[in-house]
């Protein structure tokens, strides 16, 4: 029992030391090379996002054009059906 308590305490101390070392490393300022790499990566991400937005907008525009075409064709079809029904309707009896 004492052995497991000691091992547990050692493990906890080791974990605490590792966390402290990691936290201390986080406050180290970035080097100019790291800052430049970060800026380049951020620019690439922004450029990729802009390109994706442009593609999405182009797809939306194409979809809207297809919807307009469909609506126009549907209206023409409905008018043709209406005209055909009118032409088939028997004349009223005198």
CB-CB contact of 57 with 65 (8 Å): no
Per-residue pLDDT of 5-60, as tens digits, reads: 676 677 677 777 767 655 555 578 999 999 999 999 999 999 999 999 999 999 99
Helices (H) and strands (E) in the chain, counts: 2, 0
Residue 76's pLDDT band (cuts 50, 70, 90): very high
CB-CB contact of 30 with 38 (8 Å): yes
CB-CB contact of 34 with 26 (8 Å): no
Supply the pLDDT for residue 1.
55
The residue extents of the domains of the chain are 31-88
Which residues fall within 8 angstroms of residue 38, CB to CB, at 6 or more apart? 30
């Amino acid at each position: 029992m004492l052995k497991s308590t000691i091992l547990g305490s050692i493990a906890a101390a080791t974990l605490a030391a590792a966390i402290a070392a990691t936290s201390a490393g986080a406050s180290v300022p970035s080097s100019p090379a790291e800052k430049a790499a970060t800026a380049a990566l951020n620019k690439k991400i922004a450029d990729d996002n802009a390109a994706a937005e442009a593609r999405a907008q182009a797809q939306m525009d194409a979809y809207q054009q297809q919807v307009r075409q469909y609506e126009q064709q549907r209206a023409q079809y409905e008018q043709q059906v209406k005209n055909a029904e009118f032409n088939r309707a028997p004349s009223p009896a005198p």
